[in-house]
Structure 1
Amino acid sequence: MRFSIGILTVLFLSLNFSIMPAVALSPNEVLVIANRNAAKSVGLATWYMEKRQIPKENLLMVFITDKETCSREAYLKKIVPPVRRALEKNRKINAIVTMYGLPLRISSSGRTKGEQTRLDLLTKQKKNIDALKEKTGQLTKEQKTTLKQINKKIRQLRASTDKVASFDSELMLVKKENYKLKFWLPNPYFLPWRSQKTSISKSDVIMVSRLDGADASIVKRIVNDSIEAEKKGLSGTAYFDARWKYPDQKKVSGYKLYDKSIHNAAKRLKKGGVKVVLDDKQNLFQPGDCPNAALYCGWYSHAKYVDAFTWEKGAVGFHIASSECMTLKRENSNVWCKKMLDKGIAATVGPVGEPYVQSFPLPEIFFDFLSQGKLTLAESYLISLPYLSWKQVLVGDPLYRIKIHKSNHNTTQMSREPL
C-alpha cells in the first residue's frame, strides 16, 4: 500500500491537534541498549539511566561492531533476538534508547534473485535501444517513448530495492515478524493516517531515539542540557527557513508540501506565544542571523552546515536535506546532524542516505506538539514521522519534555535579496 502525503494535505490541515492525549513517556518504560564492544557505551548507558532514574534492569547489553555501519545479517542475529527477549520480559517498555557505540546504519542485504533478474532484463532492453541509436544515428518516436519508459522503470526498481536503513528506524519494527524489505513502510502512528488502515499495526511499533555524537562528552551534554531546560524552561527564538512564499493552493505535495508545513509550523508556534523568525527567501540563514536559537527547521543545503546559530541549552531542530545523518563521528564531515550536535543542539533528526523529502517528520506536527510540552521528544517524533524501516534517525533524550518560555513578540518576517 503506497501513501501520498500530498493527497492527505487537506485532511491534515483540518485536524484539531488538541485532541491528542498527553501520554507522557516515563523512565520505567524505556529500554536502554549499549554495546559491550564499544568503549564508553555501557558506562554512558548506566550514567544516563541514573540521571533519568531508569530502572537498572532496563539495560540491555549487546555485542556488535562499533563501526557506524553494520550488516543486515549482524543486525538480525545480534540485535533482534536479544531485544525481542527484553521486550517480552518487560511488557511495560514503550521506547528504546540506542546508545553511543551502536551502529547508525544497516547496509543493504542486496537484491533478491527476482529483483536482479528484472533489473538485468530492463538493462538489456536499454542497451539494445542505445545500440540501435548508435547504429542509425536516431530513434523513431515510438523507440524514444519505449526508452523513456524503460529508464523510468529502472529508476523505480532501483529505488524500490533500496534496502539501506537507519539502525533505529529498523529497530522501530523489531517486534514485527517477517516484513518485506522493500522501500519504506507506513507508520500507523503518523497523525494524518490515524483513521486509515495500514500494513503495519500500532502494536508492531516501538519508539526509538539515539544518544550519540562525535564523542562521549556530547552525549552527556545532550542529557544535561535537556534536563536543565526541563527545569528552567527553554528560552530563545524559533527559526524557520522556508524557500518560498506561502502557497495559495490547498493541495500541495513534495517540496511544496514541506515548505508549506514549515510556514504552518511558524504560524502555530506564533499563535502559541513563541517568538518566531520566518524567512521565506531561497537563500539560507547566514552566519550571525540566528542568535539564541531554541527551535529550527529549514532546507536545503546538502552536507554543508551553515553556522548561523547560537544554540540555547535544550535546543531542538532539523535540516531537510539528504544524508544529513550519514555520520556522527567523521571528523571532517559537514553534515547537519553532526555539526548541530557539535555546536550545542540537544536534539535533531536526519537521514542516513537518500530519504526522499516526504519521509521527514512533518514540521508543523513535530514542533507544535513538542512546544506544547504535553508529549516527549520521542512521542512528538513518532506522530510526525510518515515512514518506518527507512532512513531517518532521531538523536536526543526520548524523555525530554520541552517547557518553552512564551513571548508577546510577533513573528518576524525576514526579507533578504536572493544571492
Structure 2
Amino acid sequence: MSANEVTSRRSRRGQEAEATAHQPIRLLTSAATALLLSLASPCSAAPGDSAIVLYNSSVEESKATAAHYFTARGVPANNVIGLPLPTSETMTRKEFREQLQEPLLKALAERGLWKLRADALTREFNLTNSPAVTESSIRYAVLCFGVPLKITRDNSLAEASAEKLPPELHRNEAAVDSELAALPLAAGRHQITSALPNRNYAATNPAALHPTNGILLVARLDGPTAAIARGLVDKALVAERDGLWGRAYFDARGIRDGGYLTGDEWLRKAAETVRRFAFETALDDTAPTFSAGFPLSQIGLYAGWYDGNVSGPFTRDKVEFLPGAVAYHLHSFSAHTLRSADKNWCGPLLAKGATATLGCVEEPFLAGTPDLGVFFHRLTAAGWTLGEAAYAAQGSLSWQTTIVGDPLYRPFGRHPGELHTDLLKRRSPLVAWSHLRVVNLNLAQGTSAAEMVGYLNEQAETKTSAVLLEKLGDLQLKLEKPELAVESWDKALANQPTPQQRVRLLLARAEQLTKLGREIPALVAWQELEKLLPPSPELNRVKERLEEAKVRLKPKK
C-alpha cells in the first residue's frame, strides 16, 4: 500500500468519522425542530369585518384613533360608528343608557350588523333566556380613545331582583366595556345591580364567544395619550407578523391557604402553561412583588399582584417590553384611570410599552377578576385572540373589568414552523428566540439538557446571540459544568445584551465565579453590579457578596 493510498484512506476515514460525529447533531436538529412543525395549527386571523369601531364624535382624537384602526385592520366603513359622548373618563348610568347603549343598539340593527328577537325589548329578563341577538356579522367592538371608561354608581336605581344580594354587592357602577359586553344578552335590559354570570366563562371553543350566545367581545384602544392608544394596534400587527417573543414573568405572593389562595393558584397555573408553551418563564412565589432591582428583561408576558400603584422594575425610565407584550397586574383599581402614566397600573404599563393589558375600574372582589390560568392558556397554547382569551377568562359581565388593546390581536396566530422558516429566510435576529423556543419545547418534552446543548452549538446564530448564549450557559450549569457556563455568559455579555439581561448575566456569572474560587474576577463582577443596581434587595445582596469577596482577598497575617 502506497503512502498516497494510506493518506487517501486516512482522509476518507477522517471524513467518515467527522460525518459520523456530526450525524447525531444533524438528526437531533431535525427532531428538535420537528416539534415546531408538529404543533397544532393556530386559529386563522380575525378579519376586520368581524369588528365594529366605536368613537366619541365629541373628541377629535377619538375619531383619529378610529380612522387609524379602520385603516390598519381593514374595517368596513359600515362598521365604524361615531356617537356624541361625555368627554371625561366617567359617565352616569343615564348618559350610558341614552347616549351610548340605546344609540349603539339602534345603529347595529339599522346597519344590518345585528338581528334582534322580535320580543327582545319587551320580554322579562331571565338569565336562562336565549340571547336577544339572533344573527350577527360581528363579534368584536373596539372602543377608541375618548369613549368613557366607566359608569358611575346611581343610588337612585333600585331593582327588586337585587334585594337578596349581600350588601357589598348592592352596587351598579361598572366598566363601560363590561356593560357593553353583555348587550347581546338582553339588549341592555338585564339587572345592573352587581354582576351577571358569564355563560362563556372557561369556554373551550372560541366560536362560542359570539353575540348570538350572549356576548360581545369589547376592548379599547386607550391609554395616557391618544398616540399610545393608536400604537397598540401597530405593535399588535408587528407581533402578528414577526411573533411575540421574549420572556414570561409571573409574580405570585406565596399564598398557600385562605381566601386569596385563588389568585396565586391562577398565577402558578398561568406560569406552568406558558413554560410548557416554551417561554423562558420566571415565577416568583414569595410575598414581596418584584423589586426595583429585579432584572426584568425582554418582557413578552407579565402578570403579578398586589400593589396599589405601579412599582418595582416598572418604575424605571425604560421597561424592556417587546412588541406585542401582554402585561397585567391584579389589583382592585388597576384601571381606575387610564389617563395617568404613573398612577394605578394599566396606564403606566401602556406608557412603558405594553401592547395589551387588563384592569378593574372599581372594586371587583377577587372572584370578579379574570382567571389568569384560563387567560394565558387561551392566549398562548390555544392561539386565541386577545378578545377571546380575555372574555373566556371572566366569570362576570356587567362588572368592573376593562380590556385595553386590540381585541383582534392574535399573538400566536402563525404556525411556529412557518414563522421559524420565515425568520430564517429574512435573516431576522428574532430567529434566535425561535431557536430558544425549539430548545424549551424539547426540554418540556423530556429531551436532555445535553442534547439541547448540542443543538445550540450547531446553530450559527448562537455565536452572536446573547439570548442563545445565555441559555447555553444555563444548560451547561445544569449539567454541572460551571466553567463552560461562565464562558458562555462571557460571550453573551460581549454580544450586546439588553441592560436588564446584562444585570441577570452578571449576577449569575458573579455567583459562579465565587463558587469556583476565582476571587478577583468575581470581585470585579460584584463591583460592576453595585454600580448598576438601584436601591433594592438585589443591591443589598450584592453589597454583602462584595464585602465577603474583599475579606477573602485580604492578605492573611
* TM interval, short-chain normalised: 0.7 to 0.9
Quote the residue 2:543 is aligned against. Answer: none
Is 1:185 equivalent to 2:196 in the alignment? yes
Write the mapping of 1:4-403 to structure 2, written as runs, cut at 5 A.
22=43, 25-88=46-109, 89-90=112-113, 91-112=136-157, 156-157=166-167, 159-175=168-184, 176-177=186-187, 178-191=189-202, 203-244=213-254, 247=256, 254-289=259-294, 290-308=296-314, 309-330=319-340, 333-372=342-381, 374-403=383-412
Partners of 1:86 and 1:275 in 2: CA distance: 46
Partners of 2:222 and 2:251 in 1: CA distance: 26
Per-residue displacement from partner, 1:198-251 (whole Å, max 9, x unpaired)?
xx9963211101000111110122111111111111111010011116x5xxxx
User: Higher helix share goes to which structure?
Assistant: 2
Partners of 1:227 and 1:265 in 2: CA distance: 24
| 1:407 positional shift | 5.4
| 1:408 positional shift | 2.7
SS of 1:283's equivalent in the other structure is coil
Equivalent pair of 1:168/1:209 in contact (CA under 8 Å): yes
SS of 2:335's equivalent in the other structure is coil
CA separation of 1:215/1:190 partners in 2, compared to 1, >3 Å: closer, same or farther? same
Per-residue displacement from partner, 1:303-352 (whole Å, max 9, x unpaired)?
24333442111100211111110111146x42110100010000000000
SS of 1:238's equivalent in the other structure is strand
Moved more, 390-399 or 288-297: 288-297
CA separation of 1:192/1:314 partners in 2, compared to 1, >3 Å: closer, same or farther? closer
CA separation of 1:160/1:81 partners in 2, compared to 1, >3 Å: closer, same or farther? same
Partners of 2:219 and 2:73 in 1: CA distance: 15
Partners of 2:259 and 2:77 in 1: CA distance: 44
CA separation of 1:201/1:214 partners in 2, compared to 1, >3 Å: closer, same or farther? closer
Partners of 2:231 and 2:102 in 1: CA distance: 32
Q: Give 1:286's aligned amino acid.
A: S
TM-score normalised by the chain length of structure 2 = 0.58
SS of 1:40's equivalent in the other structure is helix
Equivalent pair of 1:305/1:339 in contact (CA under 8 Å): no
Partners of 1:417 and 1:354 in 2: CA distance: 31
Equivalent pair of 1:189/1:202 in contact (CA under 8 Å): no
Partners of 2:217 and 2:96 in 1: CA distance: 18
SS of 1:244's equivalent in the other structure is coil
Per-residue displacement from partner, 1:75-109 (whole Å, max 9, x unpaired)?
10111122112332213011100100010010112
Number of positions where the alignment pairs a residue of Structure 1 with one of Structure 2 = 351
SS of 1:182's equivalent in the other structure is coil
Partners of 2:259 and 2:156 in 1: CA distance: 27
CA separation of 1:417/1:41 partners in 2, compared to 1, >3 Å: closer, same or farther? closer
| 1:375 positional shift | 1.1
Partners of 1:192 and 1:51 in 2: CA distance: 29
CA separation of 1:71/1:262 partners in 2, compared to 1, >3 Å: closer, same or farther? same
Equivalent pair of 2:293/2:312 in contact (CA under 8 Å): no
Q: Give 1:237's aligned amino acid.
A: R
| 1:113 positional shift | 5.6
| 1:373 positional shift | 6.1
Equivalent pair of 2:159/2:193 in contact (CA under 8 Å): no
CA separation of 1:190/1:174 partners in 2, compared to 1, >3 Å: closer, same or farther? same
Equivalent pair of 1:31/1:97 in contact (CA under 8 Å): yes
Write the mapping of 1:408-419 to structure 2, written as runs, cut at 5 A.
408-409=439-440
Moved more, 94-103 or 399-408: 399-408
What runs of 5+ residues in structure 1 fail to find an aligned partner? 1-17, 119-152, 195-199
Q: Give 2:147's aligned amino acid.
A: L
Q: Give 2:292's aligned amino acid.
A: P
Q: Give 1:371's aligned amino acid.
A: T
Q: Which protein has the larger Cα radius of gyration, Structure 1 or Structure 2? A: 2
Percent identical among aligned pairs is 29
User: Higher strand share goes to which structure?
Assistant: 1
| 1:24 positional shift | 5.1
Partners of 2:66 and 2:211 in 1: CA distance: 30
Partners of 1:114 and 1:365 in 2: CA distance: 33
Equivalent pair of 1:322/1:355 in contact (CA under 8 Å): yes
Partners of 1:98 and 1:279 in 2: CA distance: 35
Equivalent pair of 1:370/1:402 in contact (CA under 8 Å): yes
Q: Give 2:241's aligned amino acid.
A: K
RMSD of Structure 2 on Structure 1 (CA)? 3.0
Partners of 1:201 and 1:47 in 2: CA distance: 25
Partners of 1:347 and 1:80 in 2: CA distance: 25
TM-score normalised by the chain length of structure 1 = 0.77
Q: Give 1:107's aligned amino acid.
A: T
Q: Give 1:228's aligned amino acid.
A: V
Equivalent pair of 2:293/2:537 in contact (CA under 8 Å): no
| 1:114 positional shift | 7.7
Partners of 2:140 and 2:408 in 1: CA distance: 9
SS of 2:219's equivalent in the other structure is strand
Quote the residue 2:449 is aligned against. Answer: none
